[in-house]
Copies of this chain bind each other. A is one copy, B any other.
Amino acid sequence: MAATNAGGAQVFRYGSMRAQVAGFEAVLADGSVVRRMGGLLKDNSGYDLAGLLVGSEGTLAIFTALTLRLIPRSARRLTGLLALPGVESAVALAAHLRGAVPSLTACELLLPDGIALVCAHRRLPQPFALSADAACVLVECAADDDPAGELAAALDRAPAPLAQAFADDSAGRARLWAYREEQNESVGYVGVPCKFDVTIPHASIASFLADVRAQIAEAFPAAHLYAFGHLCDGNLHLNVVGAPLDADAGLDALVLGIVAAYDGSISAEHGVGQTRRDYLGLTRSAADIAAMHAIKRALDPLGQLNPGKVLGA
C-alpha cells in the first residue's frame, strides 16, 4: 500500500497512503537500512525521504516496516444512493456536498449501465428505474453523532434527486455499496476489460466522459465503456470491454491521450507499473522525467529494484 501510495474512496477526506505514513523502515538498493519509525508529526530535518519512497512502486527502496497514522472509527455511518439527471449534475452535487457536509467520507459516481451489469450478474434488484443518461451518486457519511441531519440539510439546498435510497444499518449499507463495489468483478463477465485509472479536473469530468465515450465508439465500435469513480478527487475508473487488448491496437494511446488533453493524470491511484510506463511522457515533461531518472540512478545505480517499472531504461 505504501509502495504504490494506495488510494480509495475516502482519499478526499483522509488523504492517500502518503498522508498516513508517519514513520518507516526501508532497505535501499545498496543493502543499507533507513529507519525512522518515531512518528513525529513535525520533522523538517532534511529531505522527505518517506514521501519520495511512498508511491515509487518499489523502484527506489523496499519498505520493511511502517508507523501509520490511525483514524478513530466513527460510531455512525449513513449511506445514500441518489439518482440525478446526468454526470454534470452528479459532479455539481459532489462539489456541494463536499463543502457542506463535514462528515462526508465517500462520494462515488455510478452509471446506469454499470448498475444494470451488477444487477444481472449479482442477481440484485434495480435500486430504482433509471434512464440511460442518468447518473447516480453514492454518498457515505461517518461521524460519532448521527450524520443524517447534516446530510439532509445539505440535500435540501441542492436540486432534488430523481430517486433516492438510504441505509444506516450495515446490511442495508452493504446492499447500496454492492452497486458500486461489484462493478469491477461484474465487468469480467462481459469480457476481459482494459482498465484505466485516471484523474480529470472536476470541471471537465462530464465533458471528458462524453468525449472519451464517443471516441472509443468511433475507433472501436464493438467496445463498451463502463465508468465509475471517486467524484471528489476527479478519479475515474474506466473499464473498456470488447476492444482489442494489445497495445498496438491503440486503445491505451487513445484514452490516455484524451486524459492528457484534459490536463488529467494517467494514473490516479493504481500507479504506473509497466503498462503505463511508456505513456508517462503524456503528462510529465522531459525535464520532470529526467529528474525522476536522476533520482532512480542515485538510489539504485544498478537498476536492481523492480526493474522496468515506472521508468524505462
Interface residues of A (CB under 8 A from B): 4-5, 7, 11-12, 16, 18-19, 28, 32-36, 38-49, 51-52, 54-56, 60, 72, 99, 102, 199, 201, 230, 232-235, 263-272, 276, 280, 283-292, 294-295, 297-299, 310-311
Cross-chain contact B291 with A18 (CB below 8 angstroms):
no
Copies in the complex: 2
Chain B: CB-nearest residue to A235: B42
Cross-chain contact A265 with B42 (CB below 8 angstroms):
yes
Mostly helix, strand, loop or mixed at chain A's interface? loop
Taking CB atoms, residues of chain B closer than 8 Å to A233 are 41-42
Taking CB atoms, residues of chain B closer than 8 Å to A266 are 45
**Which of B7, B47, B55, B287 is in CB contact (< 8 Å) with A28?**
B287
Cross-chain contact B291 with A28 (CB below 8 angstroms):
yes
In whole angstroms, what is the CA distance A288 to B263 when docked?
36
Having A32-B287, A294-B299, A295-B298, one finds 8 other A-B pairs with CB under 8 Å, namely A32-B291, A35-B285, A38-B263, A41-B232, A42-B233, A42-B234, A45-B265, A51-B51
Cross-chain contact B16 with A288 (CB below 8 angstroms):
no
Q: How far is the CB of A145 from chain B (nearest CB, A)?
A: 11
